[in-house]
Amino acid sequence: EQVFKDNGIETEIILVGNKDIRGCIACGSCYEKGKCVFNDMVNELALKFEEADGLVVASPVYYASANATLIACLDRLFYSSRFDKTMKVGASVVCARRGGCSATFDELNKYFTISDMPIASGQYWNCIHGRKVGEAALDEEGKQTMRGVARNMVFLMKSIALGKEAFGLPEKEKKVYT
């Protein structure tokens, strides 16, 4: 977070892992209403996400995957929000005791890659290690990776803003469904 502040990037941390967020039921109401039928924090997050230039998604690793509530939130957030996410920068970061980081990292990145969002990366997979509260602060390599991810995300967001100003967004073809 400090890297973002040092570079003039506004941030907001929103915790979802302990919230009551149900999963998507693919009802399609969002196509008609422009928002999810379940009126919880997902619809509030969609408004914030639409205004943002980037999104960092962070999760602890539970049973070799991300927090289930976070996944329910992301499924609905990305599925129900109809605004163009093209060139919003995404970064996923994960924390685990030992294993499951790369699987969780891949799981979280799918939301960005299906939405025309470039992904900020670092010197290693975007992970840090620790089990108990405060242990991740002891992982010097992990902290260095997180700082690098943040610096690269800042660079991408600023570069994309300049590119949009000069060239606009990339042209899109009409979607073809197979």
Of the candidates 110, 92, 90, 94, which has an alpha carbon nearest to the alpha carbon of residue 62? 94
The pLDDT tens digits for 44-91 are 999 999 999 999 999 999 899 999 999 999 999 999 999 999 999 999
In the sheet with 89-96, reading across from the earlier edge strand, the strands are 54-60, 89-96, 127-129
Q: Pull the structure tokens for residue 89.
A: 């920068």
pLDDT in tens, 82-117: 999 999 999 999 999 989 999 999 999 999 999 999
Predicted model pTM? 0.93
CA distances from 127 to 16, 71, 104, 114, 150 (A): 19, 18, 9, 22, 13
